[in-house]
Amino acid sequence: MAITVSLVALFGLVLYFLLRSGSLTYGPAFIATGFGFFLASTGAATPINQLTDSVIDALSNL
């Protein structure tokens, strides 16, 4: 749970800076955010969470 909250905060911060710098406009940002919410409610959410946990565990063991 703590990892998920941290990743959400990190991705939110990156999205904020991309919007602020003009590298990303509001339309694509809205679509990317909506895609993330819809993806989280599908069956793909569990494998994505497992993959993320595995990558984080691998990075922490380096």
Tens digit of pLDDT at every position of the chain (62 positions):
556 667 777 888 888 888 899 888 888 888 888 888 878 888 888 888 888 889 889 988 98
Task: Report how far apart, in Å, the C-alpha atoms of 50 and of each of 12, 23, 35, 40 are.
Answer: 21, 30, 19, 13
- The region, left, alpha or beta by phi > 0 then psi within -120 to 50, assigned to residue 25 is beta
Give the pLDDT confidence score for residue 54 in this predicted structure. 92
Task: Name the DSSP letter for residue 41.
Answer: T
Q: How much is the pTM? A: 0.58
d(CA 3, CA 34): 21
d(CA 42, CA 10): 22
Cα Rg for the chain, rounded, in angstroms?
Answer: 14
